[in-house]
Structure 1
Amino acid sequence: MMTDQPPQTLADLGLFTGAPQYENFCRIKDFADVREMAPSSKPHAWPVGDTITLPDAYEVDGTVRSTEEFLADTDTAALLVLIDGEIRYERYLLTGGPDVPWVSMSVAKSFVSALVGIAVEEGHIRSIDEAISAYVPVLPGSAYDRVTIRDVLQMSSGARWNEDYSDPDSDIFRLSLATLGIGGTLDGFVANMVRASKPGTVCRYNSGETQVLGALVAHATGRTMGDYMQEKLCEPLGMTSPGYWVLDPAGTEMAYGGLNLTARDYARIGELYRCGGVWQGEQIIPATWVRDSVTVAAPHLEPGRPVIGGHPTGLGYGYHWWLPAGDRGEFSAIGVYNQFVYVAPTARTTIVKLSANRRYGTSAKESTNREMETVTFLRALARRNN
C-alpha cells in the first residue's frame, strides 16, 4: 500500500525496500531540486504507423511466461515501440502517460556519454585518452587522478566501488546521500574516491564514473550539464516536453541517474544512436562516437565480464551503453527499477520501458531485479515484428 504521507525529499522514497514507487517516479520534481530543460523550439512529433501486437508470452531459460503478468509484476508504467522511427505500439499503465516525465535512473548514463562525445567533437575535450583529472579537480592519488576519460566511459577506472542496492552501506547509497548534501556534495564525493585496481583491466559498474563524467562536461564546456544538454540534445532532437535534472544542494546535476523525461523523449536517444548519430539529416553526434559507444573494445568488456554489485552480469559494456551477447548489434540504456531504452538496429526498432518494479534491489537476485529477463522480453518483441 502507498503511504498516506507523500515523500518530502528523495530520502523519503524508501528505495530498494519493496515500497511501491509508481506514485513517486512520475513526480520527482515535486520533492527534489531540479534544473528544467525546455521543450525544443521545433518539436518533433513521432509519426504513427500501424499498431503491432505484443506476444502473448515469451520464453526465459526454457520457461514460458505471460507478457501481461510480466508487465504487471514489474510495475510497468510505459511501453513504447518504434519501428523505422514510427510509433507502432504505445501503452501506459499505473501513473504513466504520454506527457508524464519519469525518472531515468541509470538510463541517464547513456545521455551523459552522448554529451561527452559532442564535447569531444566541439573541441572542448581534446581526447578521451587524456586524463580526466586534467579537467576535473580530484585529490592527488585518488581514483580519478591520471585515469583516462576512455577508462571512465568504459566503467574501467579501477575505482573501488560497491553498487549493491540491497546493501545500505554500499557506495551507491553513500553517493545518493551526497545528492541530498549529506556528508558532502556530488563533486566532493567523486574527487575523493579510492583506487582498487589497475585502470583498464576490470569493468566494475560504478555510478561514480558517470558523476565524474558529468563534472567533465561541465568543466570542459564551462556550462551546467543541463544547459549543455538543452542546446545539444533537447533542441535538435525536437523534444516535446520539459525535462528535468535532479540537483544536489550545490546545484550539480545527479548525472548518474537524475534525468526525468517522457517515454517519447527517451526514445529519441535510442533512435539517434540507431541512425548513427544522425537526426533528420543532421549529424548530432559523430558516427564514430556512436559506433565506439556500442562496441565491445576489450576482453574485460565482453558479455559476462562486467561486474555489478560484486556479481558478473550477462551483458557487455561500451561507452555507458549495455551490450547484449550475440551478433545482432543490440544495445541498451538500463536503469534500476527496470528502466530501458533498448535498440535493435537489425530490426530497425527502439523500445522504451519505464517501470517501478517494487522488488528491485530487495536482493541481488535476477528473480527480483529481472533485468536479463527484460532484455529477453524486449528481444522477443523486436524480433516478433520484423
Structure 2
Amino acid sequence: MTTKKTSIIKVALLSLLGLILIAGVYYAPLIQRLYFSLNIEDEASMPENLRTLHQYYSTHLIESSATPQPFPRQLQENVLPESFQSHGETIKTKAFFTDAKPTGLVIIKDGQIIYENYWRGLTESDTQFAFSVAKSITSVLVGMAIGDGLINDVNDSVTKYLPHFKGSAWDKATIANTLEMSSGVEFDEDYSRTDTDMRRFQMAYLFDKPMEDFLLSLKSNREPGISQGYNSMETQAAGFVIRSVIGERSLSNYMHEKLWQPLGAQDNAYWNVDGAGMEVAIGGLSMSLRDLAKIGQLYLQRGRWNGEQLIPESWVLESTTPSKPYQMPGRDNPLSEKPFGYGYLWWTPVDPNGREYYASGLYGQYLFVNEDKGIVIAMYNANNNFNSAPDWWKERYEDFFQAIAQKY
C-alpha cells in the first residue's frame, strides 16, 4: 500500500514538474521581456539594451535594399563646436557628451558625410531602437499614402478609413488631428510615474494585447483641433489608418517598398508589432544610424531621391511647418503643453534658425534637418537620465544641433 501511494505521489510530482516546465517554456519569452523592460535604463547595459531591444519582442523585418547606396564621404576636421549655448549657459561639447551618453553621430553636409563616429559598442551597421523617431516615419508613410492616392486628404475623418472607430473617442478626429496631436483624446503620458495611461499601455503591450482595443477604450476630454497635447496614441491611430488603405501589406512591407528599397538602405530594420501583428507606430522601429540619416536627406531634398519623387514635396513642407496656433513654438503658447513647434509628427526648435525640424525619441534619439545650411544630423544616445527632464534634455540636444548647423 505504501509503495502504491509512493508511486502515485511520484507520478503527481512528475506531472506537476512537467506542467511547470511546459509553463516555463511557454512563458519564458514573457519573463525575459519583463526582466529586460525593468532593466532597460541600467546605465552600464543600456547601450546594448537599445541595440538588442527588437530581439525581445515580436517584429516585422524590413529588409535592406537590393541596391544599397552608401553616402559619399568627405570627412572634415573641427565639425563639432567646442561649446554651445543652452539654457542660458555655455556648455562644452566634451562635457555634453559625458552627460548625453551618445552611441553614434552622423553629420551630412550637401549630401556628403562630413562626420561619423560611434561609441559604447554601436557600429555603423548596428540597429538601435529609435523610440518616437518612428512617429516621424509614420508621418512619412502618411504622405506616401496620400501621394499614392490611398488617402484622399489629411483632413478626412479617421472614421472614414476606420468605420469601426465610430462612437469612440476618435469619432470627431481627422487624420490631421492625430498627426498634430490635437484630437482631444485623453491620454496621460508622464514617464516619471507608474500610475499613467502610458504605463497601462506598456503593460498591455508586454502581454501581447492588441493595441486597437486599447485605443478604443480611451475617452475624449475636449473637442479636436483646439489645442495640442502630446499623446502617442494619436500616432497609433494614424498607423491604423495607413494599415487600412494599403491592402494586404503591413506597414513594414509598405516602408520597405516605398522607402527602404528606393533609398538604398544598407541595413535591415525591425518594427515591433503587437499580438495582432500591427506595427507599434508610436515608437517601435530599430534601424541603423546611417539609414536613418537617409530619411533626413530625403526630406532635405523635399522628397526627391535619384530623380524620383518618393514623397510629395507639398507633404514635406506641410508636415514640417507649424501653421495653426497650437502648433507654434514658444514658451508662452497657452494652446500647447510644449515649448517646441510641432508639424505633422515632426518637431521644430523653440527658436528656429531658418527652416529646421527634427524627429525625437526617448533617451536621446534624433534626426535633425536644417534646410538652409544643407545639414542633416542623425544621433543616437543611451541617456538613462533623459526621463528626469525630457523637455530640458530635448532643448539641450536641439541647441547642440543648431550650433553645428550655424558653423556652416
TM-score, normalised via structure 2 length = 0.87
Q: Do the aligned partners of 1:10 and 1:31 also contact (CA within 8 Å) in 2?
A: no
* Corresponding position: 1:28 with 2:53: yes
Aligned to 1:252: 278
Q: Which amino acid aligns with 2:404?
A: L
SS of the residue corresponding to residue 65 of structure 1 reads strand
Aligned to 1:153: 179
After TM superposition, give the deviation of residue 136 of structure 1 in Å: 2.2
SS of the residue corresponding to residue 81 of structure 1 reads strand
- Supply the distance in 1 between the matched residues of 2:166 and 2:298 (Cα, whole angstroms): 38
After TM superposition, give the deviation of residue 45 of structure 1 in Å: 0.5
After TM superposition, give the deviation of residue 130 of structure 1 in Å: 1.2
Question: Which residue of 74, 78, 85 maps to 1:49?
Answer: 74
SS of the residue corresponding to residue 25 of structure 1 reads helix
TM-score, normalised via structure 1 length = 0.92
Within 5 Å, give how 1:59-138 maps onto structure 2: 59-138=85-164
Q: Do the aligned partners of 1:115 and 1:217 also contact (CA within 8 Å) in 2?
A: yes
Q: 1:251 to 1:73 in 2, by over 3 A?
A: same
- Supply the distance in 2 between the matched residues of 1:305 and 1:10 (Cα, whole angstroms): 38
Render the CA deviation track for 1:337-367: whole Å, top value 9, x for unaligned: 0110000011100001101101121x34655
Farther-moved stretch of structure 1 (346-355 vs 49-58):
49-58
SS of the residue corresponding to residue 26 of structure 1 reads helix
Structure with the largest fraction of helix:
2
- Supply the distance in 2 between the matched residues of 1:306 and 1:233 (Cα, whole angstroms): 38
Aligned to 2:385: 359
Render the CA deviation track for 1:54-107: whole Å, top value 9, x for unaligned: 112112133111212212212210011000111100010002110110001000
Render the CA deviation track for 1:296-321: whole Å, top value 9, x for unaligned: 110111013799xx983221110100
RMSD of Structure 2 on Structure 1 (CA): 2.0
- Supply the distance in 1 between the matched residues of 2:318 and 2:369 (Cα, whole angstroms): 15
After TM superposition, give the deviation of residue 203 of structure 1 in Å: 0.9
Render the CA deviation track for 1:142-189: whole Å, top value 9, x for unaligned: 22113111111111111112221101122222222232236x311111
Q: Which amino acid aligns with 1:28?
A: L
Q: 1:376 to 1:121 in 2, by over 3 A?
A: same
Within 5 Å, give how 1:190-269 maps onto structure 2: 190-222=215-247, 223-269=249-295
- Supply the distance in 2 between the matched residues of 1:101 and 1:59 (Cα, whole angstroms): 31
* Corresponding position: 1:13 with 2:13: no
Aligned to 1:271: 297
For these two proteins, the number of residue pairs brought into alignment is 373
- Supply the distance in 1 between the matched residues of 2:40 and 2:53 (Cα, whole angstroms): 16
Give ranges in structure 2 of 5+ residues lacking alignment: 1-30
Farther-moved stretch of structure 1 (120-129 vs 173-182):
173-182
Larger Rg belongs to = 2
Q: 1:340 to 1:294 in 2, by over 3 A?
A: same
Aligned to 2:204: 178
After TM superposition, give the deviation of residue 12 of structure 1 in Å: 2.6
Q: Do the aligned partners of 1:180 and 1:249 also contact (CA within 8 Å) in 2?
A: no
Give ranges in structure 1 of 5+ residues lacking alignment: 1-6
- Supply the distance in 1 between the matched residues of 2:210 and 2:87 (Cα, whole angstroms): 43
